[in-house]
Protein backbone atom coordinates (compact mmCIF):
# COMPACT_ATOMS: atom_id res chain seq x y z
CA UNK A 1 0.00 0.00 0.00
CA UNK A 2 1.36 3.43 -0.97
CA UNK A 3 1.52 6.08 1.71
CA UNK A 4 -0.35 9.25 0.83
CA UNK A 5 0.69 12.64 2.07
CA UNK A 6 -1.94 14.52 4.09
CA UNK A 7 -2.72 17.95 2.63
CA UNK A 8 -4.25 20.88 4.50
CA UNK A 9 -6.35 23.65 3.03
CA UNK A 10 -4.69 27.00 2.56
CA UNK A 11 -6.07 30.02 4.40
CA UNK A 12 -5.14 33.59 3.55
CA UNK A 13 -3.62 35.27 6.63
CA UNK A 14 -3.88 38.83 7.88
CA UNK A 15 -0.20 39.27 6.97
CA UNK A 16 -0.97 38.08 3.43
CA UNK A 17 -3.62 40.79 3.16
CA UNK A 18 -1.33 43.68 4.16
CA UNK A 19 -0.23 46.15 1.48
CA UNK A 20 -2.17 44.37 -1.25
CA UNK A 21 -1.22 45.08 -4.85
CA UNK A 22 -2.17 43.31 -8.07
CA UNK A 23 1.28 41.68 -8.22
CA UNK A 24 1.00 40.46 -4.61
CA UNK A 25 -2.52 39.18 -5.36
CA UNK A 26 -1.15 37.28 -8.40
CA UNK A 27 1.53 35.68 -6.24
CA UNK A 28 -1.09 34.68 -3.66
CA UNK A 29 -3.17 33.14 -6.45
CA UNK A 30 -0.14 31.01 -7.41
CA UNK A 31 0.35 30.01 -3.76
CA UNK A 32 -3.34 29.23 -3.32
CA UNK A 33 -3.56 27.23 -6.54
CA UNK A 34 -0.46 25.29 -5.52
CA UNK A 35 -2.02 24.40 -2.18
CA UNK A 36 -5.36 23.51 -3.77
CA UNK A 37 -3.84 21.42 -6.57
CA UNK A 38 -0.68 19.86 -5.19
CA UNK A 39 -2.38 16.63 -4.19
CA UNK A 40 -4.08 16.40 -7.60
CA UNK A 41 -0.79 17.02 -9.43
CA UNK A 42 1.13 14.69 -7.10
CA UNK A 43 -1.35 11.88 -7.73
CA UNK A 44 -1.24 12.46 -11.49
CA UNK A 45 2.57 12.34 -11.46
CA UNK A 46 2.55 9.14 -9.42
CA UNK A 47 0.03 7.64 -11.86
CA UNK A 48 2.51 8.40 -14.65
CA UNK A 49 5.29 6.75 -12.67
CA UNK A 50 6.94 10.02 -11.76
CA UNK A 51 7.45 11.47 -8.32
CA UNK A 52 7.65 15.24 -8.01
CA UNK A 53 8.80 17.19 -5.00
CA UNK A 54 7.12 20.44 -3.94
CA UNK A 55 9.54 22.56 -6.01
CA UNK A 56 8.73 20.59 -9.16
CA UNK A 57 5.01 20.77 -8.37
CA UNK A 58 5.29 24.54 -7.89
CA UNK A 59 6.83 24.76 -11.36
CA UNK A 60 3.87 22.85 -12.77
CA UNK A 61 1.45 25.15 -10.93
CA UNK A 62 3.25 28.31 -12.12
CA UNK A 63 3.02 27.03 -15.68
CA UNK A 64 -0.71 26.33 -15.27
CA UNK A 65 -1.31 29.82 -13.84
CA UNK A 66 0.70 31.48 -16.62
CA UNK A 67 -1.31 29.51 -19.17
CA UNK A 68 -4.55 30.67 -17.53
CA UNK A 69 -3.35 34.28 -17.84
CA UNK A 70 -2.60 33.72 -21.52
CA UNK A 71 -5.96 32.03 -22.16
CA UNK A 72 -7.75 34.91 -20.39
CA UNK A 73 -5.72 37.36 -22.51
CA UNK A 74 -4.22 38.91 -19.39
CA UNK A 75 -0.70 40.08 -18.65
CA UNK A 76 0.96 37.97 -15.95
CA UNK A 77 3.60 40.63 -15.35
CA UNK A 78 1.15 43.54 -15.09
CA UNK A 79 -2.02 42.09 -13.54
CA UNK A 80 -5.22 44.05 -12.95
CA UNK A 81 -8.08 43.35 -10.55
CA UNK A 82 -10.46 42.50 -13.39
CA UNK A 83 -7.86 40.34 -15.08
CA UNK A 84 -7.10 38.47 -11.87
CA UNK A 85 -10.81 37.78 -11.44
CA UNK A 86 -10.93 36.27 -14.94
CA UNK A 87 -7.87 34.14 -14.23
CA UNK A 88 -9.28 32.88 -10.92
CA UNK A 89 -12.54 31.88 -12.63
CA UNK A 90 -10.56 30.04 -15.31
CA UNK A 91 -8.38 28.27 -12.72
CA UNK A 92 -11.45 27.21 -10.72
CA UNK A 93 -12.99 25.79 -13.87
CA UNK A 94 -9.78 23.93 -14.76
CA UNK A 95 -9.49 22.52 -11.25
CA UNK A 96 -13.04 21.21 -11.45
CA UNK A 97 -12.39 19.51 -14.79
CA UNK A 98 -9.24 17.92 -13.33
CA UNK A 99 -11.39 16.27 -10.68
CA UNK A 100 -10.60 18.54 -7.75
CA UNK A 101 -13.53 18.19 -5.33
CA UNK A 102 -15.98 21.09 -5.39
CA UNK A 103 -15.55 21.91 -1.72
CA UNK A 104 -11.80 22.38 -2.21
CA UNK A 105 -12.35 24.60 -5.27
CA UNK A 106 -14.98 26.67 -3.42
CA UNK A 107 -12.80 27.07 -0.31
CA UNK A 108 -9.76 28.28 -2.20
CA UNK A 109 -11.79 30.52 -4.49
CA UNK A 110 -13.32 32.14 -1.38
CA UNK A 111 -9.83 32.74 0.03
CA UNK A 112 -8.76 34.55 -3.14
CA UNK A 113 -11.98 36.59 -3.20
CA UNK A 114 -10.81 38.08 0.14
CA UNK A 115 -7.58 39.08 -1.59
CA UNK A 116 -9.25 40.54 -4.68
CA UNK A 117 -11.72 42.53 -2.55
CA UNK A 118 -8.80 44.64 -1.33
CA UNK A 119 -7.75 45.72 -4.82
CA UNK A 120 -8.99 48.88 -6.51
CA UNK A 121 -10.81 48.46 -9.84
Which residues have CB under 8 Å from 54's CB, separation 6+? Answer: 38
Give this prediction's pTM.
Answer: 0.85
Within a domain: 4: no
Within a domain: 3: no
Within a domain: 112: yes
Residue 18 DSSP label? T
Within a domain: 60: yes
State pLDDT tens for residues 73-119: 999 999 999 999 999 999 999 999 988 888 889 999 999 999 999 99
Query: What are the backbone dihedrals phi and psi of residue 82, each rounded to the nearest 5 degrees, phi first?
Result: -60, -45
Q: State which residues form the domain around 36.
A: 21-116
State pLDDT tens for residues 23-82: 999 999 999 999 888 777 766 767 777 777 788 888 989 999 999 999 999 999 999 999
Amino acid sequence: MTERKEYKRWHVTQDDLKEMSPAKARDLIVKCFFEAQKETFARASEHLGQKQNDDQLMGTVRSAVRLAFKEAEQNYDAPTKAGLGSVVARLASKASTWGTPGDIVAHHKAQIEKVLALLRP
